[in-house]
Amino acid sequence: MWAMARGGVLTEAVRRHPWSVVLLDEIEKAHHDVHELFYQVV
- At residue 1 the predicted structure's pLDDT band, cuts being 50, 70 and 90, is very low
Q: What is the pTM of this model?
A: 0.52
Q: What angle do CA 26, 28, 30 make, to 5 degrees?
A: 90
Q: Is residue 3 part of a domain?
A: no
Q: Is residue 1 part of a domain?
A: no
pLDDT tens digits for 5-16? 677 888 899 899
Q: Is residue 4 part of a domain?
A: no
- Residue 27 and residue 30: Cα distance in Å, rounded? 5
Residue 27: domain span: 9-41
- Residue 12 and residue 21: Cα distance in Å, rounded? 14
Going from the C-alpha of 31 to that of each of 24, 28, 40, the distances in angstroms are 13, 8, 15
